[in-house]
Structure 1
Amino acid sequence: MTLIDTARSTPEVLRYTAFSDDPEGGNPAGVVLDAAGLDDAAQLAIAAGLGYSETAFLTAPPEGLGEPGRAFTIRYFSPLAEVPFCGHATVATAVALAERTGPGDLVFATLAGPVPVTVTEDGPALRATLTSVEPHLTGVSPADVTEALAALDWPAADLDPALPPRIAYAGARHLVLAAATRERLARLDYDFDRLATLMRRLDLTTLQLVWRESESVFHVRAPFPVGGVIEDPATGAAAAAFGAYARTLGLVTAPTTLTLHQGHDLGRPGRLTVELRAGDPRSHVGGTATAITG
């Protein structure tokens, strides 16, 4: 029996939470292991009906991508639109597959490029670590930073001058803004439409709002109005991009592992790790995932 079954007209939609082993924590994602026969409109409708920040849809892989049964094409839809790459839905999907076929190596063909994932046993849980596409960093104009801060209702004085604004990419684009205090990060009440307008103009998937607790520990939040979601509880794509940000700006030196805490202010705590390896510019983002039942 294959995981892609073209005879099934109504696909099963699984629900997993990523970056937590508690169904009440992390970031929920929809997972459709058999999306054969679903067109774009059908996938978007499923994602909108589920209401999670993203739902992942699997179909057969491009020829030569990887070992049969371990390689897939994956697409990600938010309630409003398709996104090129989603880390938490990738982790959720990899764990869902591993529960059915066993831990090991997988590879997903995404719109951003091939994304390998390794699933291992982590005590009673399964842990998935994805390898991002090659990342890069670009600048952002002062006017666009000013507009982002206005939409967030953040005074410029509340930014951390040691962590300058940048747009970071590791499969999707994210504007990184660093808060000077944990209290500033905790107070998030933004203008949804104004921020969405700016993000669409800059082709951003989320904002990556960060506060640095220590050299390698960060607290993060991710507004996601372009996806129709106020805030993403745990964002693997932004974590991968932030790894590139930290490395490129010299905040850390590889090899090292960053720990990102996200979702605490939403009551859905999650933990993401970002491994930066010497000689490898890509980010390796890891976390557990678990099924949501009931």
Structure 2
Amino acid sequence: MTIQNDVPALPDVLRYTAFSADPAGGNPAGVVVDAAGLDDAAQLAIAAEVGYSETAFLTAPPEGLGEPGRAFTVRYFSPLAEVPFCGHATVATAVALAERSGPGAYAFATPVGTVPVEVREIDGVLRATLTSVAPQVEEVAEPEVTEALAALDWPAADLDPALPPRISFAGARHLVLAAATRERLARLDYDFDRLAAFMRKHDLTTVQLVWRESETVFHVRDPFPVGGVVEDPATGAAAAAFGAYARELGLVTAPVTLTLHQGHDLGRPGLLEVGLSADDPRVTVTGTATRIP
């Protein structure tokens, strides 16, 4: 099988869904375990051919990163562009590797830095925990919030004043906007091109829309038009960024685990666990993954 742009035959692409033990849930990701010899154009074309929100491409690690088979250089491509970091593809990749090489510690050299991943087998299920790079949270100017809301067709009155807008980073930049009600979060019908233009202007990977069910339980949705995808079903990078946001705003007190439900409104339910430590600013994101037949 060949694909466009004179790319050689499609390499072996593993297909996993992350943050769900059900192949019909979570967020699908492609995993190319051996991407040696594939240039940027080839990786982008393969990601477009696979059609998932991201595909991860693995090559040899930098010298000294880790033992063979446990350390890799990883790049992530959406159907439209390379993204700096992708959480769900990281979890999918780690579980795919653990099925071949066993649970334990892995290290991924990504464009934003080294991301350690620990895979454990619990009750016969492999669960991967990634540790983000150092996070950052910044305020958002009112005109930018107004433009984002206009693209979403959300009235400002529908926001939750207890969770103010911020841009949060834990490997990729995400605008966090909080809905006042679950009903508001469920109604998502936005201007794809307008939101994509806004996100490219401000270097955003997704817009993370959240609703707080309880102190530590949240429901989230992530429009991803800059990747050519209307909505991401489960977004590990945004989950890590949200953990940094929750800590920065004092929504919770570390150590704590946040539970994020995502994908329910798409019919692809997923579960993401976000860990905040009392003595480490980095954020962990935990989930399972399963092979798509």
Normalised by the size of structure 2, how large is the TM-score? 0.97
2:56 partner letter: A
**Which whole-Å CA distance do the structure 2 matches of 1:126 and 1:48 have between them?**
28
* Cα RMSD after superposing both structures: 0.9
**Which whole-Å CA distance do the structure 2 matches of 1:242 and 1:215 have between them?**
14
Q: Give matches, 1:268-287, under 5 Å.
A: 268-287=268-287
Aligned: 1:157 with 2:152: no
**Which whole-Å CA distance do the structure 1 matches of 2:70 and 2:235 have between them?**
24
Unaligned runs of 5+ in 1: 1-7
Unaligned runs of 5+ in 2: 1-7
CA shift at 1:124, angstroms? 2.4
Judge conservation of contact 2:10–2:46 (CA < 8 Å) in 1.
Answer: no
The answer for the alignment partner of 2:99 in structure 1 is 99
1:217 partner letter: V
Aligned length in residues: 286
Judge conservation of contact 1:9–1:37 (CA < 8 Å) in 2.
Answer: no
TM-aligned CA distance change 1:78 to 1:176, over 3 Å: same
The answer for the alignment partner of 1:123 in structure 2 is 123
CA shift at 1:122, angstroms? 2.2
CA shift at 1:9, angstroms? 7.2
Q: Give matches, 1:248-287, under 5 Å.
A: 248-287=248-287
Summarize deviations over 1:111-142 as a string: whole Å, max 9, x none.
01000000001222210000000001011110
Summarize deviations over 1:248-284 as a string: whole Å, max 9, x none.
1000010000000000000000000001011100100
Aligned: 1:90 with 2:90: yes
The answer for the alignment partner of 2:3 in structure 1 is none
**Which whole-Å CA distance do the structure 1 matches of 2:160 and 2:238 have between them?**
19
**Which whole-Å CA distance do the structure 1 matches of 2:123 and 2:181 have between them?**
35
The answer for the alignment partner of 2:28 in structure 1 is 28
Judge conservation of contact 2:263–2:270 (CA < 8 Å) in 1.
Answer: yes
1:239 partner letter: A
Q: Give matches, 1:215-294, under 5 Å.
A: 215-293=215-293
CA shift at 1:11, angstroms? 2.1
Judge conservation of contact 1:73–1:108 (CA < 8 Å) in 2.
Answer: yes
**Which whole-Å CA distance do the structure 2 matches of 1:74 and 1:33 have between them?**
9
Judge conservation of contact 1:173–1:203 (CA < 8 Å) in 2.
Answer: yes
CA shift at 1:66, angstroms? 1.2
* Structure 2 residue matching 1:42: 3-state secondary structure: helix
**Which whole-Å CA distance do the structure 2 matches of 1:184 and 1:237 have between them?**
23
The answer for the alignment partner of 2:133 in structure 1 is 133
CA shift at 1:68, angstroms? 1.7
CA shift at 1:18, angstroms? 0.1
Normalised by the size of structure 1, how large is the TM-score? 0.96
The answer for the alignment partner of 2:148 in structure 1 is 148
